[in-house]
Chains A and B, each alone.
Chain A
Amino acid sequence: MTAGVETPALLLAVPEFGAAAQELRQDVRRFIDEARAAGDFVPRCDAWLAGFSADFSRELGRRGWIGMTWPARYGGHERTALERFVVAEELLAAGAPVAAHWIADRQSGPQIYRHGTDAQRERFLPDIARGVSYFSLGMSEPDSGSDLASVRTTARRVSGGWRLNGTKVWTSHAHHAHYVTVLCRTADSEPGNRHSGLSIVIVDLAAQGVTVRPIQLITGEHHFNEVTFQDVLVPDDMLLGEEGAGWRLVTAELSLERSGPERFLSTFALLPELMRMLGPEVGDRAAAEIGRLIAELCTLRQMSASVAAMIDAGQDPVAEAALVKDLGTRFEQQVPEVVRLVARADASGEAGATFARLLSEAVLAAPGFTLRGGTTEILRGITARALGVR
C-alpha cells in the first residue's frame, strides 16, 4: 500500500479462479478418484520427483493436462497459467505420480516455446504435451551449484554443430528422460561479465558419448544421476535460443520454476493420513498444530496462485517467485516435523503403516526441498535485492 510512505514490500494480489478453472478442478478430482480406486497409483510424498509413471503421464497428456498453456498448433491447450495451476495442485495434493513429464511440462517445454525456433517447437512440444517425451535439466556440475555461471561443460563449434564435453550432476530422471537441456560454455566469458559465453543445447540422451550413471539418494532410491558428455556431437538445430544467451534463458523461466504448487505440496499427502489417524475430534494441542499448518498452507497456496496470475498478465515476477519458494519449501519441510509430534506413536494396522511410510518419505525427502531450484540462501538474496537491500 502506498500512502505517502512508499513501502517496498513484495505484495501479491488475490487471484481469482474463474468458472472454467473450477470446472476443470472437478474434472481432475473425478479422474484422480477413479485412478486411485482402480489402483493406478498409491499416494506418496514428493511425487513430482519420486512418482514416476509413464502410463499416468500418457493419460494426463490424453486428457489435455500437459502443455496446457501452449498454442494448439504445438499440441497445447491454450489454457491460462491459473488453470494449469489448478491441475498441478490437484495432482500434487493427491500425491499422484507426475514425475515423468514434470520438468518437460513446467520448464523445458515453456523454454522451447519461448526461445526455440519454429522447427524446434514443432519437433518437441507435441510429444511433451502427449506425455510421452521427458526432459531433464543439465545445470549443476560437481564444482558448480549455486554459482551456476561457473559451469565448465563446453560446447565447441564443429562442422554442422557442436562438440560437447563435461559432467552434470544431480540430473533428475536422466535415466528415464529422452532429452536433457545442458547449460554449457560456448565461448570464454567477456571480462567483467561472467554470464556471457553461456548457451543452452538440447541433447538427445541416447546420443553417442552420453553416459548416465545413477547417484543413490539417502532414501536408497535412484532419482538423480551423473551425466557425462564425451565428445558428444550436438547438431546445430539443437541450440536453444541464440548462442551466448544461455544465462538469459536460465533466468527467464525462474518464476515458473520456483513459484508452483510443487514448492509447498511435496509433503501434503501426509496430512490426510494424519487426520485419518486422529479422527474427527482432536484435542487442543493437535488442533492448534494442524490449524497452524493449514493457515500457512492456505496462504502459500494463494500466494503461489497469485504468481501464476501475474504470469498470465504478462509479468515476470522473479522476486515474488523466490519469496514464495523460500516460504513454501520451508513449509513443506516443516510438515513432517509437526506431524510426527502430533501423531500417536502407537499407530498400528493399515492406516498406521501408510502413515509411517509417508512420514519416512517426507522426512527423507525434506532436506532437498530447500536446495533444489535455488537454495534458501540464494532466494533470500534475490528477495533482499528486490527490496533494495544488497
Chain B
Amino acid sequence: MSYERRLLIESAAGVIARHRPPQEEDASWSAPLWDALEEHGFTRVSLPEELGGTGGDLADAAAVARLIGQTAAPVPLADTVLVGGWLLAEAGLPVGDGPCPAAPSTDGARLERRPGGWRLTGSLPRVPWGRFAETVAVLAATPDGWAVVAVDAADLTAAEAVNLAGEPRDDLMVDAEIDAARVALAPPHVDAAALRRRGALARALTIAGSLDQVLALTVAYVREREQFGRPIAKFQAVQQQIAVLAGEVASASAAVDAAVLAEARGAAPWPVAVAKAEASSAAGRAAAIAHQLHGAMGFTDEYALHHLTRRLWAWRDEFGDESEWWIALGREAAAAGPERLWHVVSGAVSPAA
C-alpha cells in the first residue's frame, strides 16, 4: 500500500474513532460521523473533482470502504462513493453533499419525458439508508437507453425497513417532475448489470473489512479467555479453527483486492463476480467459526462481535448472494467452452472476448 493511501486510511480511521457513536448504541446511522467524514472529503473519494468529488482513485475509495466494514461505521459511505456517486458521475451529473446511495433495482420506476423535463413514478425497493439520503441515484430505462436520475430526497417518501444488521433498507416511493438538469443518458458501459456489479464490489469490500476485524477480535479473544487453567488458544482444536478462519479472511481479501485492481482498469465483471461470491461465502463460514470460538460471550448484545457478524450476514445477500454470482460465473464458463476454460480462469483473455 502506498504511503499516501496509508495516510488516507489512518486519517479516516481517526475521524471514525472520534465521531462514531458509542458501540453500545448499535446505531445504524450517525449524522455527526457522516458530517465529519464529509468535511474531510472521504465521502466523495475517487469521484471527479469537477463533479464535486475529492479526487483519488478507485483503490483509495476501496480502502475507505473496507475501513467502513472493519469499523462497522454506521454510514452509507461505500454506497455513496462506489455506487450512487459513481452512477451520477458516470453520467456526468454533479454529486452534491449528503448520503447518495443508488436504488439497487432498475425496474420499479418509470421515467418519462415531459416538456422541459422528466417525470419519475413508481417504487424503489430496499434503498440503502434511503430515509437519510440527500440524493438517490436511479438508473431507469428510456426508449433511448438507460438514463441516470439524481432524485432529490424531497421527492421521495420512505416506507422504512431494515436488513438483519438493522441498517436502513427503505422502500422509496416517487411521483415527481424532475428537472432536466438532474437527468442524463448513461454512457454505453453503464447499465443494470454495471450497477449491480458496483454494488457487489461495494459489499464485497465492506465484507472484507469486517472479516479482517472478525479475525482480529477472535484471535485476541482466544488468547485471553482461559478454561481448564490455560488460554483456550492452547487447545489444538481452537488453533485449527483459527487457521481455517484465517483462510476464509485471506481468500476474501485476495479476491476483493483483485477485483478492485481489475475494476480500476475498466469494467471487470468476472473479477467482481469472483470477489462477491468469495466474500459472501467466506462471510457465513467466518461468522460461524468466530461465534463458536467466542462461546456465549460472542452471542451477547454487549460484546462487539455481533456488530460485525450481523452485517456480514446481511451484506452477503445484498447485490447478489454467492449463488447468484456462482451461477453467473458458471454460465460464462460454460459458454466459453472446455478449450477456453483455463484461459478464462488464468485471466489471459476476458470471458466475453
A interface, CB within 8 angstroms of B:
1-14, 22, 25-26, 89-90, 93-94, 268, 271-273, 275-276, 278-282, 284, 286-292, 294-303, 306, 323, 326-327, 377, 379-381, 383-385, 387-390
B139 at the interface (CB under 8 A from A): no
B215 at the interface (CB under 8 A from A): yes
Known: A271-B341, A384-B242. 17 other contacts (CB 8 A): A1-B66, A3-B13, A14-B254, A14-B261, A25-B346, A89-B346, A280-B337, A282-B331, A300-B251, A303-B250, A306-B254, A323-B247, A381-B243, A383-B242, A384-B239, A384-B240, A389-B222
B interface, CB within 8 angstroms of A:
9-10, 12-14, 17, 63, 66-67, 70-71, 209, 212-213, 215-216, 219, 222-223, 233-234, 236, 238-240, 242-244, 246-247, 249-251, 253-255, 257-258, 261, 270-271, 273-274, 277-278, 281, 322-323, 325-331, 333-335, 337-339, 341-342, 345-348
| Cα of A294 to Cα of B246 in the assembled complex, Å | 21
17 CB < 8 A contacts A-B: A1-B70, A10-B250, A90-B346, A271-B341, A286-B334, A287-B327, A287-B331, A290-B329, A290-B334, A291-B327, A292-B277, A294-B274, A294-B333, A297-B345, A298-B258, A383-B242, A389-B222
Give min CB distance, A350 to chain B, whole Å. Answer: 14
A323-B345 in contact given A9-B212, A306-B254, A380-B240 (Cβ < 8 Å):
no
What residues on A are CB-neighbors of B331 within 8 Å? 282, 287, 291
**B327 and A387 contact, CB distance less than 8 A:** no
Q: Closest 3 CB pairs between A and B?
A: A287-B330, A291-B326, A291-B330
**B341 and A384 contact, CB distance less than 8 A:** no
**A291 and B333 contact, CB distance less than 8 A:** yes
| Cα of A8 to Cα of B238 in the assembled complex, Å | 16
Q: What residue of chain A has the Cβ atom nearest to residue B236's Cβ?
A: A381
**B258 and A302 contact, CB distance less than 8 A:** yes
B212 touches which of A1, A94, A297, A303 (Cβ 8 Å): A1
What residues on A are CB-neighbors of B17 within 8 Å? 4
A273 touches which of B238, B249, B338 (Cβ 8 Å): B338
A323-B250 in contact given A272-B342, A290-B330 (Cβ < 8 Å):
yes
What residues on A are CB-neighbors of B71 within 8 Å? 3, 5
**B341 and A272 contact, CB distance less than 8 A:** yes
| Cα of A268 to Cα of B333 in the assembled complex, Å | 14
Q: What residue of chain A has the Cβ atom nearest to residue B220's Cβ?
A: A8
**A291 and B337 contact, CB distance less than 8 A:** no
B255 touches which of A295, A379, A383, A385 (Cβ 8 Å): A295
| Cα of A44 to Cα of B264 in the assembled complex, Å | 38
Query: Which of A12, A14, A296 has the largest count of B CB atoms less than 10 A from its CB?
Result: A14
What residues on A are CB-neighbors of B338 within 8 Å? 272-273, 275-276
| Cα of A152 to Cα of B214 in the assembled complex, Å | 44
**B333 and A290 contact, CB distance less than 8 A:** yes
**A5 and B70 contact, CB distance less than 8 A:** yes
**B339 and A272 contact, CB distance less than 8 A:** yes
A299-B278 in contact given A8-B219, A271-B341, A281-B334 (Cβ < 8 Å):
yes
**B342 and A93 contact, CB distance less than 8 A:** yes
**A390 and B239 contact, CB distance less than 8 A:** yes
Q: What residue of chain A has the Cβ atom nearest to residue B255's Cβ?
A: A299
**A9 and B13 contact, CB distance less than 8 A:** no
**B212 and A292 contact, CB distance less than 8 A:** no
**B254 and A295 contact, CB distance less than 8 A:** no
**B326 and A292 contact, CB distance less than 8 A:** yes
